[in-house]
Amino acid sequence: MAVTSAARTAFDLGRRLPMTAAVQRMDALMNATGLQAADVEKVIIEHPGVRGLSALRRVLPLVDGGAQSPYETLTRLILVRAGLPAPATQVPVVDEYGFVVAYLDMGWPELRVAVEYDGAQHWTDARQRRRDIERLADLDALGWVVIRVSSDMVRTPATIVARVRSALERRSSVPISTPSRRVS
């Protein structure tokens, strides 16, 4: 049976899929395997002139193996497409004793602003909902602003962007007004 390496698989995904789908799948592949962008760059060097390289070169800078779901990737892409600074992913938050309180889906640790994508279980499972309420109280006590996002909200990205931009600007000494860039 023929198989490819993770790097070759990412190389093919990035060249052949539409940008958002390529980033989502490459994020998942990197998260599952530990693959790095540099590994894909090596495959690019080995295959000069192959069809789709320009698309792959646009996709690769957007890939982040920290995303733990396609919707987390989509949420991050919404923010980047709007011209906001790229957030870090899987941001550890520690308390005053150095214990990890939470890993946030994405955020700007220096400003203590985070974005959490909440899947259906966060809204429908009573135990999960209770844990989320306690977790948000802990994060608030540590000075974090957390913007929560659900699946239906990604259909109206302007709301997400406005909330995140506002939180970043409240916490920053400089305006967050980088030009928007289109990522299809």
DSSP 108-167: ETTTTEEEEE--THHHH-HHHHHHHHHHHHHHHHTT-EEEEE-GGGGGSHHHHHHHHHHH
User: Who's near 47: CB < 8 A, 6+ residues apart?
Assistant: 11, 53
pLDDT in the model for residue 176: 74
pLDDT, averaged across the chain: 91
- Measured CA to CA, the distance from residue 56 to residue 95 in angstroms comes to 40
pLDDT digits (tens, 9 = 90+) for 116-169: 998 766 566 778 788 888 999 999 999 999 999 998 899 989 999 999 999 999
pLDDT digits (tens, 9 = 90+) for 22-64: 999 999 999 999 999 999 999 999 999 999 999 999 999 999 9
- Sketch out the chain's domains with CATH numbers: 6-62 (no CATH), 70-171 (3.40.960.10)
Yes or no: say if 166 and 158 are a contact pair by the CB < 8 Å rule. no
pLDDT in the model for residue 184: 46
pLDDT in the model for residue 120: 60
Reported pTM: 0.87
pLDDT digits (tens, 9 = 90+) for 17-29: 999 999 999 999 9
User: Who's near 30: CB < 8 A, 6+ residues apart?
Assistant: 10, 36, 63, 64, 65
